[in-house]
Amino acid sequence: MKYILGLVLFLTFNIIGDKVFSQEDPLLRVELEVKSDDAKYNVLSCGENGAMLFYKTNITEDNYSFWIFVLYNKFMQESWKKDIPVYDNMHYVAQSIQDNYIYLFFFDKEKKKSDSYNYQLLKIDILSGRYELFSGLLPKDSEYASFEVLGQKLLIGLNLENDKAGLYSFDFETKETKSVFEILDNDARMEGIFPEGNSTSYLVLFNVFVSKTEYYLLIKEFGLNGEQLKTTQVTGEFGKKLNSGKISDFGGNKLLFGTYSFIKGSTIDRKNYFVNESVGFYTINLSNEGELIARYHNFLEFENMTGYLRSREYQLAQKKYEKNEDKEDKYSVTYDLLLHDVIEHDSLFYFVGEAFYEDYHTVTSTYYDYYGRAVPVSYSVFDGYRFFNAFISCYDKEGNKLWDNGMEIFNILSFDLRKRINIFFDQGDIILAYNRAGKISAKIINGPEVVEGVDNFEIETAYVNDKVMSDTKSEMSYWYDNYFLAYGFQTIRNNSLPNSKRTVFYINKVGFE
């Protein structure tokens, strides 16, 4: 057994029917003892360069807090460790990996007047651990939406206060932060920043509300120096509102994917505009500049969804839809979806969304009025976001849907809206998998066909007599080749050890074979 900076490496394996989540020798697990799952640890897959673990410590100096960064190689052996100071008021929000560098974006949306900066970008050389830290100032009271690194530019998308939106850039050479484009006259929401395939320009997508009768998706193309190259407006057809969007650009072929919802007629109130509950997916081929044709796919048309949706709601909507002789889009089920970036594989495009809803429980208490009479009072308490289903659909280069499928998600309740499903292509099969409660749930599909239904496979712990009492905040991410990282918090009891109970943050390296 080898101890590295308090992290203990262990063996682990998991067997899955004829397919296997396993690990070739040496079989590895990392444990870091903690007091509770309140600790915040981050795990990043850096491809074949390794896996990075980082977290904020309680060590402070002046206005800085120290963060620990540890990189492990493919054998989970420590390559390097760094203590890096970051402004104490900053919160880690996003990361991007470009070549052999990882870029970590820290942001303070509630900047104090005394603070000189409200964002920092940490650039780390994955191989050596050398780093640079850049600081800048963005509009206060704003919400992070997106960021990308292109050449010598850092691009940052924000949703500003009072439903406005903006795009900003940081130049690594001049160290200047500039406003590239802002929407201040109308209500708007930043949807994302999408680099062009040629890496010399990029697209930015906004959702814009002008009035009850005028609303659209706005696509702006910019050069790396901030020059505007092209503007495109995309509107839904009568009775439909485009809720969200993701743009893919592979080989010069641009496709816009997103979700849509129904509206009565062509008008919508401002208060209902940025609601994300959707009734289906749409695709638009942006390369066809002569005419942008939207293809809509109602969730009720999805062939492989009936077993996964909330049955009573689905059955009622399906009956109404089937009785609708002209097959106009009037009925559907609505879902709030967490969308993945579009995946391109073998010249086909895959769009994935994870359905969730806000979960509450009711608390009732009693108080007594002036006359001593008992008066019950009830209120709702937010328990988190409950994930319950994943949608996957496949499209050709024109945006035509070829097939759809899905996966059940069981018992994931979280206060964080983070993507849970991992997608892995294994020859003609597609594996959908996520980590929950110390088990990897996996499903194998081949296009619209189900090869193997959802099954659950234990993540092994350090010792033979370990008994997992609880597993929380479980997550999983793709690493490299056919390997994944599964991690989370576990409370483990083992009466054969001097310390019979321990709470750990664990990382398991698992592979699909």
DSSP string, 433-458: EEEETTEEEEEEEETTEEEEEEEEEE
Percent with pLDDT over 90 in the chain: 60
15 — pLDDT class (breaks 50, 70, 90): very low
Beta strands in 46-108 (DSSP E): 51-61, 64-72, 78-87, 91-98, 101-107
- As a whole number of angstroms, the distance between CA 7 and CA 32 comes to 5
pLDDT at 246: 95
Range 399-403 average pLDDT: 94
**Of the candidates 465, 483, 477, 344, the residue with the CA atom closest to the CA atom of residue 419:** 477
The residues with which 425 forms a beta bridge, in sequence order, are 430
- As a whole number of angstroms, the distance between CA 131 and CA 388 comes to 40
Range 119-134 average pLDDT: 96
Contact 391, 302 (CB under 8 A): yes
Range 213-219 average pLDDT: 95
Q: Is pLDDT of 2 > 80?
A: no
At residue 86, what are phi and psi to the nearest 5 degrees?
-130, 145
Radius of gyration (Cα) for the chain, nearest Å? Answer: 24
Range 285-308 average pLDDT: 77
Contact 445, 399 (CB under 8 A): no
Between 3 and 322, name the one with better pLDDT.
Answer: 322
pLDDT at 172: 94
- As a whole number of angstroms, the distance between CA 257 and CA 263 comes to 19
**Of the candidates 196, 396, 389, the residue with the CA atom closest to the CA atom of residue 295:** 396
- Number of domains composing the chain: 1
User: How much is the pTM?
Assistant: 0.87
Range 22-51 average pLDDT: 84
- As a whole number of angstroms, the distance between CA 156 and CA 46 comes to 22
- What type of residue sits at position 197? G
20 — pLDDT class (breaks 50, 70, 90): low
| pLDDT tens per residue across span 221-247 | 999 989 999 999 999 999 899 999 999
274: which 2 tokens? 């940025």
Range 474-479 average pLDDT: 94
Residue with tokens 């949306």: 109
245: which 2 tokens? 């969007």
pLDDT at 12: 36
Q: Is pLDDT of 345 > 70?
A: yes
Residue 438 burial (10 A CB sphere; 0-12, 13-18, 19+): buried
What does each C-alpha distance from 467 to 12, 196, 365, 487, 500 come to in angstroms? 15, 50, 38, 17, 10
Q: Is pLDDT of 156 > 90?
A: yes
Q: Is pLDDT of 17 > 70?
A: no
Percent with pLDDT over 70 in the chain: 88
113 — pLDDT class (breaks 50, 70, 90): low
Q: Is pLDDT of 171 > 90?
A: yes
Q: Is pLDDT of 499 > 70?
A: yes
421: which 2 tokens? 């499903």
Three-class SS state of 205: strand
**Of the candidates 247, 327, 249, the residue with the CA atom closest to the CA atom of residue 283:** 247
| pLDDT tens per residue across span 77-112 | 899 999 999 999 899 999 999 889 999 999 998 766
What is residue 226's DSSP assignment?
A: S
Domain boundaries, position 203 = 3-512
pLDDT at 22: 55
Q: What is the mean pLDDT of the chain?
A: 86
- As a whole number of angstroms, the distance between CA 302 and CA 353 comes to 13
Three-class SS state of 155: strand
Range 303-319 average pLDDT: 53
**Of the candidates 362, 456, 472, 470, the residue with the CA atom closest to the CA atom of residue 413:** 472
Q: Is pLDDT of 330 > 80?
A: no
pLDDT at 322: 55
Q: What CATH number should be reported for the domain holding residue 65?
A: 2.130.10.10
- As a whole number of angstroms, the distance between CA 388 and CA 311 comes to 12
Q: Is pLDDT of 411 > 90?
A: no
Residue with tokens 């485009």: 242
250 — pLDDT class (breaks 50, 70, 90): confident
Between 124 and 365, name the one with better pLDDT.
Answer: 124
